[in-house]
Structure 1
Amino acid sequence: MNIQQLLNRYELKTRQSIYNWCKALKIELSKDETGRVYVTQDQVEHLDQLKKHLSIPGNTLANFTPMSQVSIQEIDTSIDSQKIEIEVSELLAILLGDILSILKTRLPQSDVLWYHSTLERASAQSWLISTSQIQKIIGIKPLVKKGKKVYKRGNWLFVKQGKIGRETAWRVMKETKRETGIYEV
């Protein structure tokens, strides 16, 4: 298939989109005798998988893993059956691990507000949390201007409280609003 056919097949508007897809799949485009770019049938199958993957909300080029073609070959019957059972169980363990890692990257987070309950607990228990732990929770590293001790994100306050090892220690506090419009910490 040539580029124009691919654009039509995948309902894409620009050649660059096809090139980006091919780059993500590590597909090397070939040229015919006239110098026109084309892809092979095997490459089209991978592009079809990518199209299906991208049709699911939240999926991106970055989290696509192509399905491999697995071929089953005839097994030599003279091999010890106990050895075959071990090899099969090892293969199943590897496949299960691969499937779980794919599912982890593709399944949407069930509760997008999970971090609020984590911050609530940290606040209620007056826990000191390191910078890297906060970054894992809220997705951003808390930074304050020189001479300041409080970082604010949403209705959460992160107050510098010394060190945990080599990192800054932070106390999490929830900012609340009274009916008077005055904020209290």
Structure 2
Amino acid sequence: MNVQELLLRYDLSSRAALYTRLKVLGFELAKDDNDKAFATPEQLVHLDQLHEHIKAGNKMSTFVRPSQVNVVSAKTVQSSVHSTEQEKAKKGLLTEQPTVQGANAEVLLESLVGVIINNLNPPKNPLEKNRALKECEQENLLLTTKEIEEIVGRKPRKIQGESYCIIGGWKFIAKGKSGNKTLWGVEQLKLLIKRYFVL
């Protein structure tokens, strides 16, 4: 997921806000063959968790940080993103300004209820979630919104102008309806790493 998609996903108004979150998590974005920065599926899981933490009204500084993740790309052992915004974020010159533009009461209430449910029922083991989703992908099963929420802990919401959403390294594609329920197909996102051979 590239930087622009990340800004839309987390409703952030600037790259600086995104890089502040990456700094809190101790992550550096990988780069593709076109030198464009992107987040890996593993990083998305932690970014989603931090986003939910912030949406629940908590400060970034109180988020329990995961261990450092090293990203291997085709060009470097550990890639890094060098930008003015990131350098400013490292020096602590930038602070994230929370925004609720475009958010309506229903979405905010739904998010709050989701956080409360997650706190009452701790999330499932990540391996269990991934096994369940892998099985659904292999069997070409269509899941309802509620079934996806039960597996991954949050409702799928389509990216604006698209028929899919991405949650924790998985792509959920709206395939149709059964009554008033949306049916979703499941696909695992693949991380493409090109291998270069020296002759």
TM-score (norm 1): 0.37
Larger radius of gyration: 1
Structure number with higher relative contact order (C-alpha < 8 Å, ≥ 6 residues apart): 2
TM-score (norm 2): 0.34
